[in-house]
Chain A
């Protein structure tokens, strides 16, 4: 979905603390006249710094544009192309359910309705309390451990209905940002090693 162009807002944005340091580091990676190469890193940092809505605000777009000396439109193009950059608010937990063939064969068709039912949201929606966002996605690159659901930065693999139920219950219980359920294979596999 193409995100609509936002009206300009009066809020200002600047990188703070550790984010400012990281931004500086990213910019330093590229030679003079090539600083626009840092665009994705900066957009990601801006998004992470904005923990409340987990998206890049208009003000942040403007700041990054001026930091990189880049037209606003070029930045919008990049932000809208990459699915990891969000221009609209995203919940605290962003659940991305893989629907591609291997996951489908291994039961993602069961997981999605379960998530939808438990959280009361459907694809691309965010729950009213702003805690959960659900996206149907294509291959997350962990087909050997299908089915896979990505929650924020982590992949949860080898999921069964029960695993998913437990996971969702844990997420629903409270603020687990610091103490997320264990990522990776829920069957205890290391990487994609053979089962058993």
Chain B
């Protein structure tokens, strides 16, 4: 520990900290532009000046100055104030006075700090410098004349996102942030917008839509992947304008993926806003009562011959309500693994990301099986990259479809047979894994969503056991879910059996199911619904809605209070930002009304009651924001592996759910990425 005096007050801090960090710890605010806790130190904006004694007579940049024993730090004095004023004046020399038309206005570091630390007028009579715009793709709008060259975006791209196409060219007055005039090849590119302290990089999709003080801010949880990123939904006049990350050190740090941030325009398109019934082959809008009565009648006839398939973004409450409804009819046919993933949903240690995100940094060897963390969980991939860049992660091996993860990965094979060899223990790679101190395995949906998914899952468990990935204080077995609803469905017993959804689909095809409830699911083989009376509870008019017999419009994730459990088993709650369009309702409300119509009303009447009975049944879900854990048990049993390769099931990161598929922004991203990939191909050739 080092003792320093900050503005006359004694403060103890850890060795190796910078003066700025020490001041921050002591609760003293230091203005800054280029410094950012999660990026390397650049020290080029000179805003964080402090006076150090003993030391040189002039003020020093505190962000790049290591703390020393007995330092006396002055953070406010007339001379410092005038020094900061001087820095501010220089920063503003070439900065345009276009705040009234700048999207950053109201949330601009430069604006705020100019007010707090700046000079109240300009003495610069010469012409200001102007700079041409740079192309960064469909998400990031650039107005480079506003740039103050803090290089946060360059450092973020290099260090966190692993993209090396942004740089700072030139020198002195001519310096410019530049791209290679191509789309940023990253799933995290939107974060440069938050990082930019000025209005140089702003969000293209929400440009000129609202001022930051006009929007209503609601805390919620992202459902585009299974990370459960903490988000803030900004809405105005009942429309979601944009989505920003919220800081959560253990989940998403302060990043979110581009899909989480920009797919929100899909929430206003292709929406189902009233109930429909198919009459003479055509879907006809009807009042709620008529639709509910029809569904209730059909359900009463079907009794145990009801089944349910839930989608990728369902909240736990709706899943619970649906499960209760079906159980009330005596049916046990329900599942939320619409992609066909196979694993035992009763073995908690087998379906969680046991290591937890925060601890992946401790790992030193990693085996990826049929997953693409970069697309399945971009913020987790950023953590893995950090672990490789600054941490202990030295060896990364992959089995499955090879992809660029932004850190080196040795792709061993794409055939699952390689797992048998690894599990056999006679293998160089196995040696590396077993000799590592904290080895880790991530198995993903490309491997699990196969007919031999459960065998692969079993083999991964065997490898985890043999390579001592499960040890005292460390569990290196991880399943990386793709869907926000997956773990929740496992926890409340909505997922049943090793085989996943397959038996359910077979039953449907064989005619054993009369009424099929499909809740927000559009990504399974719809042919199997042909013989069922299909009730679609969902928010987007997509594939399933098109062939449903009854449509009950539900609320999307921004329109309901809900609970989601992320792939670590972290229970998190989000709040409704806007109301659902038209007559749409949160799915659990629809199911409650339906149960009432069936004459079997549940004991609960509101969300609070639902949650109380849910927690009574599943006490672990009562604790918010703490990853679930479970003692290790062996996973499944051996079986026959298929011969074919593990392939990437998703070919487009941007459009994976009804919301993102309806989003214009995501479709622009898709086009931009295709163009980028095809131009890379021609270059390589």
Contact = CB atoms under 8 A, between A and B. Distances in A.
B670 to A, nearest CB: 24
B164 A5 contact: no
Interface string B129-165: 0000000000000000000000000000000000011
Interface stretch (A16-24, A69-77, A127-135): A69-77
A73 B180 contact: yes
B469 to A, nearest CB: 30
B171 A81 contact: yes
A3 B164 contact: no
A72 B179 CA distance: 11
A5 B178 contact: yes
Interface string A60-104: 000000000001111011001101000000000000000000000
B166 A2 contact: no
B207 interface: no
Given A72-B180, A73-B180, A2 B164 contact: no
B170 A81 contact: yes
Nearest to B171: A81
A33 B218 CA distance: 48
A165 to B, nearest CB: 33
A177 interface: no
A8 interface: yes
A2 B683 contact: no
B167 interface: yes
Contacts of B164: 71-74
B683 A3 contact: no
B169 A3 contact: yes
Given A5-B180, A8-B683, A77 B169 contact: yes
Nearest to A10: B683
B169 A2 contact: yes
A5 B176 CA distance: 12
B126 interface: no
A77 B683 contact: no
Interface in A113-137: none
Interface size class of chain A, counting residues whose CB lies under 8 Å from the partner chain = 10 to 19
Contacts of A83: 171
A193 to B, nearest CB: 34
Contacts of A5: 178-181
Nearest to A79: B169
A74 B169 CA distance: 9
Interface string B174-196: 11101111000000000000000
A1 interface: yes
A164 to B, nearest CB: 28
A13 to B, nearest CB: 15
A72 B680 CA distance: 14
Given A5-B180, A5-B181, A8-B683, A73 B174 contact: no
Nearest to B682: A8
Contact of B170 (A2, A8, A73): A2
B638 interface: no
B680 to A, nearest CB: 11
A5 B179 CA distance: 8
Query: What band does the interface of chain B fall in when counting residues whose beta carbon is under 8 Å from A?
Result: 10 to 19
A77 B165 CA distance: 11
A2 B175 CA distance: 7
A8 B683 CA distance: 8
A80 B180 contact: no
A2 B178 contact: yes
A77 B179 CA distance: 11
Nearest to B172: A81
A3 B176 CA distance: 10
Contacts of B178: 2, 5, 76
A188 B367 CA distance: 72
Contacts of A76: 167, 169, 178
Interface in A1-41: 1-3, 5, 8
Given A8-B683, A73-B180, A2 B167 contact: no
B526 interface: no
A46 to B, nearest CB: 18
A2 B167 CA distance: 12
Contact of A77 (B168, B174, B181): B168
A99 B170 CA distance: 21
A72 B683 CA distance: 14
Contacts of B170: 1-3, 80-81
Contacts of B169: 2-3, 76-77, 80-81
Contacts of A77: 167-169
A77 B683 CA distance: 21
Contact of B165 (A2, A73, A80): A73
Interface string B348-385: 00000000000000000000000000000000000000
Contacts of A1: 170, 174
Nearest to A71: B164
A3 B181 CA distance: 13
A2 B165 CA distance: 16
B661 to A, nearest CB: 33
Nearest to B167: A73
Most buried by B among A1, A5, A71, A72: A5
A74 B155 CA distance: 12
B171 A80 contact: yes
Most buried by A among B165, B169, B174, B175: B169
B89 to A, nearest CB: 23
Most buried by B among A8, A73, A76, A81: A73
Nearest to B679: A8
Given A1-B174, A2-B174, A2-B176, A74 B167 contact: yes
A86 to B, nearest CB: 13
Contacts of B167: 73-74, 76-77
Contacts of B180: 5, 72-73
A83 B176 CA distance: 16
A41 to B, nearest CB: 20
Contacts of B176: 2
A65 B683 CA distance: 15
A71 B154 CA distance: 13
A71 to B, nearest CB: 3
- 3 smallest A-B Cβ distances: which pairs? A71-B164, A73-B167, A2-B170
22 contacts: A1-B174, A2-B169, A2-B175, A2-B176, A3-B169, A5-B178, A5-B180, A8-B683, A72-B164, A72-B180, A73-B165, A73-B180, A74-B167, A76-B167, A76-B178, A77-B167, A77-B169, A80-B169, A80-B170, A80-B171, A81-B170, A81-B171
Given A2-B178, A80-B169, 9 more contacts: A2-B169, A3-B170, A5-B178, A5-B180, A73-B166, A76-B178, A77-B167, A81-B170, A81-B171
